[in-house]
Chains A and B, each alone.
Chain A
Amino acid sequence: SAVISQKPSRDICQRGTSLTIQCQVDSQVTMMFWYRQQPGQSLTLIATANQGSEATYESGFVIDKFPISRPNLTFSTLTVSNMSPEDSSIYLCSVERPGQGARNGELFFGEGSRLTVL
């Protein structure tokens, strides 16, 4: 298994400010994934953070709004920039289950960061 520590666990922010969420994994992983889960919605992939290269963003998400860092194989940050109330959501860091035989889709998630933008 993988242990993922995510912080902050929650925050209340003012419109127009930015917040950086940190994700620490207890083992080295190639890819780290950032998801968003808005109230009553399914999880949506924001981007894949790759160590040593630019993050890969999904349709509808851009680097200027959600800059990502991946300085090493155990750590990543996601920044939510110039926040608006529509950014209120849970943001989740995720990694694939390690080991041979693990299927693509078997993920471990951090506990999430619950963001409220006023």
Chain B
Amino acid sequence: RKEVEQDPGPFNVPEGATVAFNCTYSNSASQSFFWYRQDCRKEPKLLMSVYSSGNEDGRFTAQLNRASQYISLLIRDSKLSDSATYLCVVNPGSFQKLVFGTGTRLLVSP
């Protein structure tokens, strides 16, 4: 089993739609979690950290489910500019290196 698994997609949604991605992780001791966004041929950029209580930033909501070992990202009212690859990143803790998922590709169409 991969340490971090994501559905590669692509998720094709119309503008205005709500879309959700999940990411599962294998190490139950993992300590912190992040979503990054990567545009085509660009570097990854931090979208948001994921906190235990869940957190929201505008149209984006991230949640953590430790019992089932997954994190989710919900995007409401999708915009064309949301089209990108969304990377799930897990910090296993204990000074281990970050683990990156392969990403979920989102395509928002007019």
Q: Which residues of A contact B (CB under 8 A)?
A: 40-45, 58, 92, 97, 103-112, 114
The CB with the most chain B CB atoms within 10 A, among A43, A110, A114, is that of: A43
A83 to B34, CA, bound (A): 33
B102 touches A111 (CB 8 A): no
Prevailing SS type, chain B contact patch: strand
B32 touches A109 (CB 8 A): no
- Chain B residues, CB < 8 A from A109: 43-45
A108 to B43, CA, bound (A): 9
- Chain B residues, CB < 8 A from A42: 4, 87, 100-103
Residue in B closest to A111 when the chains form the complex, CB atoms: B43
B98 touches A45 (CB 8 A): yes
The CB with the most chain B CB atoms within 10 A, among A41, A58, A109, is that of: A109
A109 to B100, CA, bound (A): 14
Q: What are 17 A-B pairs with beta-carbon distances under 8 A? A: A43-B87, A43-B100, A45-B98, A103-B34, A103-B49, A103-B91, A104-B32, A105-B49, A105-B89, A105-B91, A105-B98, A107-B44, A108-B46, A109-B43, A109-B45, A111-B43, A112-B42
A98 to B67, CA, bound (A): 31
B97 touches A58 (CB 8 A): yes
Known: A41-B102, A42-B101. A97 touches B32 (CB 8 A): no
Residue in A closest to B103 when the chains form the complex, CB atoms: A42
| Cβ distance A98 to chain B, nearest Cβ, rounded Å | 13
Residue in B closest to A109 when the chains form the complex, CB atoms: B43
A110 to B43, CA, bound (A): 7
CB within 8 Å of A: which B1-55 residues: 4, 32-34, 41-46, 49
B46 touches A97 (CB 8 A): yes
| Cβ distance B61 to chain A, nearest Cβ, rounded Å | 18
| Cβ distance B65 to chain A, nearest Cβ, rounded Å | 18
Residue in A closest to B51 when the chains form the complex, CB atoms: A103
A28 to B100, CA, bound (A): 25
